[in-house]
Amino acid sequence: MTDNLYLPKDTFEAKPNQIDNFALRLNKYHKTFLNKFVLYRDNKIQTCLKFDSSKKQILAFSDKYLLSLQQLPELKVETSAFKPDWRLIIGLGSASVYETSITLHHIYGFPYIPGQAVKGVTRNYVICECFEKDEEKAENNPEFKAIFGSQEQQGKITFFDAYPQTEPKLDFDIMNVHYKDYYGGKDQPTDDQKLNPITFLTVKDTTFFFPIGFPQDQSKDIAIEGITISELIRTALEEKGIGAKTSVGYGYLKFDESATQKQKENELKNEKEKIRKQEQQVFEAMPELDKQLFHLSEEKNLEKAKYLSYELFNKLDSLAEAEKQKTAEALKEFWQKRNFWQKQKKKQKDRVKKVKQILGE
Of 276, 304, 337, which one is at a domain's C-terminal end?
A: 276
Same domain, 252 and 332: no
Same domain, 41 and 185: yes
DSSP 29-88: S--EETTEE-SEETTEE-S----TTTHHHHHHHHHHHHHHHHT-TTEEEEEEEEEESS-B
- Show the domain range for 342: 286-359
The pLDDT confidence band at residue 240, using thresholds 50, 70 and 90, is very high
* pLDDT recorded at residue 1: 45
Do residue 194 and residue 292 come from a single domain?
Answer: no
| Number of folded domains that form the chain | 2
How much of the chain exceeds pLDDT 90, in percent?
39
Contacts of 78 (CB under 8 A, 6+ apart): 211, 212, 214, 219, 230, 267
pLDDT at 344 over 80: no
pLDDT score at 17: 60
Residue 37 is predicted with a pLDDT of 64
∠ CA 334-337-341 to the nearest 5 degrees? 75
Which of the 8 DSSP states describes residue 313? Answer: H
Distance CA 112, CA 89 (A): 10
Strands of the chain (E only): list them. 32-33, 36-37, 40-41, 44-45, 75-84, 158-159, 163-164, 170-177, 196-203, 208-215, 223-224, 227-228, 253-255
The number of CA neighbours under 13 Å toward the Cβ of 30 is 11
The strand pair at 75-84 and 158-159 is best described as unpaired
Does residue 60 fall inside a structural domain? yes
**Residue 85 domain flag:** yes
Say what angle helices 55-70 and 257-284 make with each other, to 10 degrees: 50
Region 286-290 average pLDDT: 89
Task: Decide: helix, strand or coil at residue 152.
Answer: coil
User: Could you give the percent of the chain with pLDDT greater than 70?
Assistant: 89
Q: Chain-centre distance of CA 208, in angstroms?
A: 11
Q: What is the pLDDT of residue 228?
A: 93
The pLDDT of residue 196 is: 77
Q: Which of 354, 288, 273 shows the shortest CA–CA distance to 317?
A: 354
pLDDT of residue 204: 95
Tell me what pLDDT residue 36 has: 66
| pLDDT for residue 203 | 96
Position with higher pLDDT, 271 vs 124: 124
One domain, residues 47 and 139: yes
Does the predicted model carry a pTM greater than 0.85?
no
**Considering the domain boundaries, does residue 122 fall inside one?**
yes
* CA 97/CA 101 separation, integer angstroms: 8
What are the beta bridge partners of residue 75? 215
Cβ of 189: how many Cβ atoms within 10 Å? 11
53 has a pLDDT exceeding 50: yes
Based on the fold, state whether residues 236 and 294 are members of the same structural domain: no
Q: Which residue type sits at 164?
A: P
